[in-house]
Amino acid sequence: MNIFSKESLPDQASFFICDDVRIEKTGVPILISVYFGDELNVSLLGKALPEGGGLIGSVPSLAILGVFKGGSGSYETSRELYAPDGALIEKKEMPPLVFDGKVSVTAEKFLPFTLRGFGEYLYRLTVGGREYDYRFSVFNVSSAEQR
């Protein structure tokens, strides 16, 4: 971007996790089963967990909604998801995001969402070279009840 361009990246971004996101024709997002506090509590009671980490199960769906305020222009976009141990789970190029100076949304779905351990996950959305990081935690219900 050159300094004389009217293009600019958003300076505010918020993220939410939920079971599913659907975008109406008007652009309004419908959030299904929102997880407040950036925490996803799953029930893996009675299941043996693998030694040394690895895959521990999955949930049918996980969606991450990104809400951006401001910005203008069209930007190349990619997403990355990292496990609690820092291992890259997924990297994906996405269609360009277009900002019009108002509120813009993006919804990314993981079907199914495979658990790579309990703890903090990192979702990174890179827009026009700028990284927007969102951290959320996954807990087993039995340990969440003890917190």
Q: Are 11 and 69 in contact (CB under 8 A)?
A: yes
Residue-range definition of the domain harbouring residue 94? 12-44+56-144
Predicted confidence (pLDDT) per residue in 112-126, tens digit: 898 888 899 999 999
Instruction: Say if 49 falls within a structural domain.
Output: no
At 55, is the pLDDT very low, low, confident or very high (cuts 50, 70, 90)? low
Instruction: Say if 81 falls within a structural domain.
Output: yes
Tokens of 129: 């070279």
CA distance 102 to 71: 7
User: Is pTM, for the whole model, over 0.85?
Assistant: no
Nearest to 127 by CA among 42, 46, 68: 68
CA dihedral 14, 126, 85, 55 (to 10 degrees): 90
Instruction: Say if 50 falls within a structural domain.
Output: no
Predicted confidence (pLDDT) per residue in 33-51, tens digit: 998 889 988 876 545 555 5
**CATH of residue 116:** 2.60.40.1930
Token pair 């807990």 in the structure block, residue: 139
